[in-house]
């Protein structure tokens, strides 16, 4: 069974450590992850801005890269959501690509979905003796319905104090190009999100989408606040090593 | 937003004003939080909320799919009940029809209950020009009218004002200083409005739902003012968006379950009135003459448009505004139209046929989907915002710089080798700006981002560069796969072949 990693352009360039944690964690369960190198980006930045021709060009690389994969796993609920919800729309007038989109849609999983729903892993055996708070990213939780999976995984981490984030479900203000185009509104949103993170007094902020994490951590660093920001895969892998 | 003042042209500029208004931001946060918590509680207590949401959606989808049929049925029944029914293709026609009725009654004063359609038509302004006094009788609308502003929320028009600002406005009207005490202020308005109800020749209402099977119109309200408006004056004019129809009273039960809970968290509003025609001899009260003006004003543009037809399903509950993290920070006036929040961001452009006139309103969203999640009839507003952006681009109104940028994006992302080279270039080029692993410069496109954030620098090795050595390292760590996991994975594959999983 071929399990392929869709790293996402952001984690590829900025957060390779997230992909590494996923690969190493899954290896512990005998899942050998592959990495088709012709992949690039899901096309979301162009799609969300209304440039669908450009989005299609990018999307085609994924459809080709994962054509013979059995499972495609990704560290981003947002990019997974793009495939799940918008590829069929993007290729609605192209029967061949539409068929491919539907196949990719059916085999693509966000990381915690794959771990919990497919592999049935709910306790990775991690120890993480820190105060942690969790930001549920909008696309993962709303478009994909990822709510229980990360919670279960986190609750089973030993020694970890999980502190509820106030207004957790409110968007952090990232929204891809939104953060640039409507920077002032986005700034108000991220400042409030960071404020809520600080209120929890957590040492670590964890999430499932590095776009949002980059946004919130960018503001926390700007404020000079030493909150560590991680993807859940990183936290789990670090916790496994500590155990 | 004052009537007379010209406001800045873009959401960006208008939100700049709102973001610097601490009073507004505090007031909006306070009330939207109260409303959305109320809704959360009410929908949880309801127990089967998702099922009812789906029913609500299906009723609206069905009605709008057969709108001509149900509109005809409604009109026939309303006429049989003795109602004068009129059609207005646009705002101008609706205003003219209302004027004509007012003139024939030699009206000097009109009392109004809350109606977003009347805001869409700017009817108060038109009445005043004719020398007719138009008085808003909903407390929030009354406050907004005194302030010379427009509503900044679909159901809480004065949401952007706090108690003290309201006391100040009402004190001016009263000619004495009123304390910022809600019951005293409401008492003052009640006394004041009572005179107006008695004077007015015409009562003007909106319409929450119109029931096809009986020709009735239904109003939901909390203050009792809509009852006064629809019983005291001799003539009633109801302004109704053409999509307000539902087939039967049985459907109203579903709507009455969804609307108040979604709007304020109430199980039911304090008053719910169904009005079926003018006063009969057996009735104790009611208008002698009743008119319903069915308004199109851009709505039929959405009919038959697969991407936007669901906009007509909206029941104007305001839940999407209360859930919206953008609305939370900028309030309603920044949207620049009659309707604000996520529904306004889509509806305002969708009501106009000219794409070129749409400003940046569709960009004022992070596409977080909170609106969709909140909506009692499941309108996919977050998708529609993307469709709007797409239409603008398709019709050639995209900004030049962005167009070039997106062409570049496609060129890079259509080829992994090119993407790799660009990342490589970034890794080298960033050396000029990286300090302690961060990019802090505020020049160029980073200005907005870096005004409240730092950007992480690119690590020396991207994932794709790291891959070959990572594979070798992990090889030694690989554990054998357990039988259980293998079976689970095989099952997932099998399920998929049988068409089991097509969605996340
Ligand atoms: S779009 Fe949905 S949530 Fe928003 S006002 Fe309309 S019905 Fe309510």
Packing angle, helices B416-429 and B463-477, rounded to 10? 100
What residues does each domain of chain B span? 11-301, 400-473
pTM score of the predicted model: 0.94
Question: Residue B216 C-alpha to ligand 1 middle, in angstroms?
Answer: 23
Under the banding of pLDDT at 50, 70 and 90, the label for residue A23 is: very high
Q: What is the CATH number of domain A131-242?
A: 3.40.50
Q: Residue B451: what pLDDT?
A: 84
CB contact under 8 A, B452 and A175: no
Structure ipTM? 0.95
Q: B481 to chain A: which residues are within 8 Å by CB?
A: 29-31
CB contact under 8 A, B329 and A32: no
pLDDT digits (tens, 9 = 90+) for A137-174: 999 999 999 999 999 999 999 999 999 999 999 999 99
Confidence check: pLDDT of B504 > 60: no
Q: B474 to chain A: which residues are within 8 Å by CB?
A: 23-24, 27
Q: How far apart are CA A187 and CA B374, in angstroms?
A: 24
Q: A191 to chain B: which residues are within 8 Å by CB?
A: 452
What residues does each domain of chain A span? 3-118, 131-242
pLDDT digits (tens, 9 = 90+) for B465-499: 999 999 999 988 788 999 999 999 999 999 988 77
Please list, in sequence order, all residues whose beta carbon lies within 8 angstroms of the beta carbon of residue B463, skipping any fewer than 6 positions away: A7, A11, A12, A13, A16, A19, A20, A35
User: Which residue lies with its CA nearest to atom 8 of ligand 1?
Assistant: B317
- 3-state class (DSSP) for residue B136: strand
Confidence check: pLDDT of B304 > 70: yes
* Average pLDDT of span A12-30: 96
* Total residue length of chain B: 504
* Average pLDDT of span B271-298: 95
Question: Residue B348 C-alpha to ligand 1 middle, in angstroms?
Answer: 14
Output the CA angle B448-B449-B451, nearest 5 degrees.
65
pLDDT digits (tens, 9 = 90+) for B46-59: 999 999 999 999 99
Look at residues B377, B319, B255 and name the one whose alpha carbon lies nearest to residue B38.
B319
Q: Measuring CA to CA, how many Å separate A219 from each of A174, A187, A189, B18?
A: 11, 9, 11, 22
Q: How far is A139 from chain B (nearest CA, A)?
A: 6
Please list, in sequence order, all residues whose beta carbon lies within 8 angstroms of the beta carbon of residue B58, skipping any fewer than 6 positions away: none
Q: How far apart are CA B311 and CA B296, in angstroms?
A: 13
Q: Residue B90: what pLDDT?
A: 96
Q: Please tell me which residue of chain B has the smallest CA distance to A111.
A: B504
CB contact under 8 A, B485 and A119: yes
Confidence check: pLDDT of B77 > 90: yes
Alpha helices in chain A (DSSP H): 9-13, 16-27, 44-49, 52-65, 77-81, 87-90, 95-107, 111-113, 138, 148-155, 178-181, 183-199, 210-222, 232-242
CATH architecture of B11-301: 3-Layer(aba) Sandwich (3.40)
Alpha helices in B244-399 (DSSP H): 249-263, 319-323, 325-330, 341-350, 370-374, 381-394
Please list, in sequence order, all residues whose beta carbon lies within 8 angstroms of the beta carbon of residue B171, skipping any fewer than 6 positions away: B177, B178
With 0-12 / 13-18 / 19 or more C-beta atoms within 10 angstroms meaning exposed / middle / buried, residue B190 is middle
Output the CA angle B461-B466-B471, nearest 5 degrees.
170
Please list, in sequence order, all residues whose beta carbon lies within 8 angstroms of the beta carbon of residue B372, skipping any fewer than 6 positions away: A142, B320, B378, B379, B380, B381, B382, B383
Count residue pairs from A and B with Cβ separation < 8 A.
Answer: 257
Q: Measuring CA to CA, how many Å separate A43 from each of A61, A173, A231?
A: 10, 20, 22
Packing angle, helices A52-65 and A95-107, rounded to 10? 60
CB contact under 8 A, B448 and A184: yes
Q: Left if phi > 0, otherwise alpha if psi is -120 to 50, otherwise beta: which for B214?
A: alpha
Alpha helices in B224-366 (DSSP H): 225-229, 249-263, 319-323, 325-330, 341-350
Nearest-atom index, ligand 1, CA of B316: 5
Q: Residue B396: what pLDDT?
A: 85
Q: Residue B501: what pLDDT?
A: 65
Confidence check: pLDDT of B1 > 50: no
Contact B260, B268 (CB under 8 A): yes
Nearest-atom index, ligand 1, CA of B311: 1
Residue B35 Cβ contacting ligand 1 at under 6 Å:
no
Q: How far apart are CA B459 and CA B430, in angstroms?
A: 10
* Average pLDDT over all residues of chain B: 93
Please list, in sequence order, all residues whose beta carbon lies within 8 angstroms of the beta carbon of residue A224, skipping any fewer than 6 positions away: none
Q: Residue B444: what pLDDT?
A: 74
Q: How far apart are CA A57 and CA B409, in angstroms?
A: 9
With 0-12 / 13-18 / 19 or more C-beta atoms within 10 angstroms meaning exposed / middle / buried, residue B487 is exposed
- Determine what percent of chain B is predicted with pLDDT higher than 70: 97
- CA A9 to the chain's CA centroid: 12
Look at residues B55, B53, B54, B65 and name the one whose alpha carbon lies nearest to residue B312.
B65
Q: Residue B175: what pLDDT?
A: 94
With 0-12 / 13-18 / 19 or more C-beta atoms within 10 angstroms meaning exposed / middle / buried, residue A169 is middle
Q: How far apart are CA A212 and CA A190, in angstroms?
A: 9
A178 touches B at CB < 8 Å:
yes
CB contact under 8 A, A191 and B19: no
Output the CA angle A101-A207-A48, nearest 5 degrees.
40
Confidence check: pLDDT of A92 > 90: yes
Q: Residue B500: what pLDDT?
A: 62
Nearest-atom index, ligand 1, CA of B263: 8
**Closest Cβ–Cβ partner in B386, B478, B502 for A27:** B478
Q: Residue B479: what pLDDT?
A: 86
Q: Residue A140: what pLDDT?
A: 94
Q: Residue A110: what pLDDT?
A: 97
Q: Measuring CA to CA, how many Å separate A149 from each of A117, B148, B495?
A: 8, 51, 20
Residue B275 forms beta bridges with which residues?
Answer: B217
* Average pLDDT of span B16-42: 96
Q: How far apart are CA B275 and CA B216, in angstroms?
A: 5
Q: Residue A176: what pLDDT?
A: 83
Confidence check: pLDDT of B39 > 50: yes
With 0-12 / 13-18 / 19 or more C-beta atoms within 10 angstroms meaning exposed / middle / buried, residue A104 is buried
Look at residues B209, B186, B201 and name the one whose alpha carbon lies nearest to residue B137.
B186
Contact A87, A52 (CB under 8 A): no
Q: Residue B449: what pLDDT?
A: 81
Q: How far is B496 from chain A (nearest CA, A)?
A: 7
Question: Residue B341 C-alpha to ligand 1 middle, in angstroms?
Answer: 10
CB contact under 8 A, B456 and A171: no
Q: How far apart are CA B410 and CA A51, in angstroms?
A: 10
Residue B370 Cβ contacting ligand 1 at under 6 Å:
no
pLDDT digits (tens, 9 = 90+) for B168-200: 999 999 999 999 999 999 999 999 999 999 999
Confidence check: pLDDT of B96 > 80: yes
Sign of CA dihedral B206, B325, B369, A121: negative
Contact B200, B110 (CB under 8 A): yes
A11 touches B at CB < 8 Å:
yes
- Determine what percent of chain A is predicted with pLDDT higher than 90: 97
Q: B370 to chain A: which residues are within 8 Å by CB?
A: 138, 142, 169-171
CB contact under 8 A, A61 and B415: yes
pLDDT digits (tens, 9 = 90+) for B246-275: 999 999 999 999 999 999 999 999 999 999
| Cα dihedral value A97, A99, A101, A107, nearest 10 | -150
Residue A5 forms beta bridges with which residues?
Answer: A73
Chain A, window 28-57: residues with a beta carbon less than 8 angstroms from a chain B beta carbon: 28-32, 35, 37-41, 43, 45-55, 57
- Determine what percent of chain B is predicted with pLDDT higher than 90: 79
pLDDT digits (tens, 9 = 90+) for B400-432: 888 888 988 998 998 999 888 888 888 988 888
Sign of CA dihedral B267, B271, B275, B280: positive
pLDDT digits (tens, 9 = 90+) for B216-237: 999 999 999 999 999 999 999 9
Confidence check: pLDDT of B66 > 80: yes
Residue B86 forms beta bridges with which residues?
Answer: B293
CB contact under 8 A, A28 and B410: no
Q: Residue B359: what pLDDT?
A: 62
Confidence check: pLDDT of B5 > 60: no
Interface test with A, best of B306, B367, B438 (most A CBs within 10 A): B367
The least confident of A84-93, B82-91, B373-382, B408-417 is: B408-417
């Amino acid at each position: 069974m071929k399990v392929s990693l869709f790293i996402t352009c952001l984690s590829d360039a900025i957060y390779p450590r997230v992909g590494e944690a996923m690969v190493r964690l899954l290896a512990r369960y005998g899942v050998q992850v592959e990495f088709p190198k012709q992949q690039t980006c899901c096309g979301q930045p162009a799609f969300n801005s209304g440039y669908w021709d450009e989005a299609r060009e990018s999307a085609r690389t994924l459809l080709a890269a994962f054509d013979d994969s059995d499972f495609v796993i990704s560290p981003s609920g947002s990019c997974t959501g793009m495939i799940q919800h918008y590829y069929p729309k993007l290729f609605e007038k192209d029967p061949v690509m539409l068929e491919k989109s539907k196949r990719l849609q059916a085999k693509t999983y966000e990381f915690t979905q794959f771990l919990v729903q497919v592999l049935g892993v709910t306790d990775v055996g991690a120890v993480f003796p820190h105060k942690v708070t969790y930001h549920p990213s909008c696309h993962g939780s709303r478009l994909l319905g990822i709510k229980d999976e990360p919670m279960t995984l986190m609750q089973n981490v030993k020694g970890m104090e999980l502190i509820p984030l106030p207004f957790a479900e409110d968007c952090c203000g990232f929204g891809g190009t939104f953060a640039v185009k409507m920077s002032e509104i986005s700034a108000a949103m991220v400042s409030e999100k960071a404020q809520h993170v600080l209120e929890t007094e957590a040492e670590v902020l964890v999430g499932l989408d590095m776009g949002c994490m980059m946004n919130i951590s960018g503001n926390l660093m700007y404020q000079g606040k030493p909150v560590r920001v991680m993807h859940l895969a990183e936290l789990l892998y670090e916790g496994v090593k500590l155990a | 937003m004052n009537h007379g003042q010209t406001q800045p042209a873009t959401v960006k500029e208008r939100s700049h004003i709102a973001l610097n208004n601490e009073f507004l931001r505090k007031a909006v946060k306070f009330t939207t939080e109260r409303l959305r918590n109320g809704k959360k509680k009410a929908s949880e207590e309801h127990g089967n909320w998702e099922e009812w949401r789906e029913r609500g959606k299906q009723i609206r989808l069905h009605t709008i799919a057969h709108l001509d049929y149900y509109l005809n049925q409604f009109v026939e029944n309303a006429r049989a009940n003795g109602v004068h029914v009129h059609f207005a293709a646009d705002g101008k026609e609706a205003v003219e029809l209302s004027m004509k009725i007012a003139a024939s009654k030699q009206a000097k004063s009109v009392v109004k209950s809350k109606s977003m359609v009347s805001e869409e038509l700017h009817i108060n302004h038109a009445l005043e020009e004719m020398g007719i006094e138009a008085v808003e009788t909903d407390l929030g609308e009354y406050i907004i009218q005194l302030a010379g502003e427009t509503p900044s929320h679909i159901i809480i028009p004065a949401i952007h004002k706090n108690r003290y600002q309201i006391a100040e406005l009402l004190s001016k009207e009263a000619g004495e200083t009123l304390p910022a005490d809600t019951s005293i202020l409401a008492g003052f308005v009640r006394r004041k409005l009572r005179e107006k109800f008695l004077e007015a020749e015409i009562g003007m209402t909106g319409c929450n739902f119109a029931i096809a099977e009986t020709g009735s119109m239904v109003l939901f309200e909390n203050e009792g003012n809509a009852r006064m408006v629809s019983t005291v004056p001799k003539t009633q004019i109801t302004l109704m968006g053409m999509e307000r129809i539902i087939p039967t009273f049985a459907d109203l039960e579903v709507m009455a379950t969804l609307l108040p809970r979604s709007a304020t968290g109430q199980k039911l509003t304090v008053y719910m009135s169904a009005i079926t025609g003018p006063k009969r001899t057996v009735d104790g009260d009611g208008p002698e003459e009743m008119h319903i003006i069915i308004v199109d004003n851009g709505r039929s543009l959405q009919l038959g448009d697969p991407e936007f037809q669901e906009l007509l399903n909206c029941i104007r509950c305001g839940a999407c505004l209360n859930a919206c993290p953008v609305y939370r920070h900028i309030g309603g006036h920044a949207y620049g139209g009659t309707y604000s929040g996520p529904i306004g961001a889509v509806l305002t452009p969708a009501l106009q046929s000219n794409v070129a006139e749409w400003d940046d309103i569709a960009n004022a969203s992070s596409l977080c989907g909170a609106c969709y999640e909140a909506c009692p009839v499941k309108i996919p507003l977050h998708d529609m915002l993307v469709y709007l952006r797409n239409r603008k681009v398709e019709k050639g109104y995209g900004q030049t710089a962005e167009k070039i940028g997106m062409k570049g994006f496609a060129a890079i992302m259509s080829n992994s080798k090119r993407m790799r080279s660009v990342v490589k270039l970034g890794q080298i080029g960033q050396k000029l700006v990286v300090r302690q692993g961060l990019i802090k410069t505020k020049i160029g496109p980073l200005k907005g981002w870096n005004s409240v954030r730092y950007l992480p620098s690119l690590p020396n090795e991207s994932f794709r560069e790291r891959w070959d050595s990572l594979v070798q390292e992990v090889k030694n760590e690989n554990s054998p796969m357990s039988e259980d996991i293998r079976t689970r994975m095989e099952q997932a594959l099998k399920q998929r072949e049988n068409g089991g999983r097509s969605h996340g």
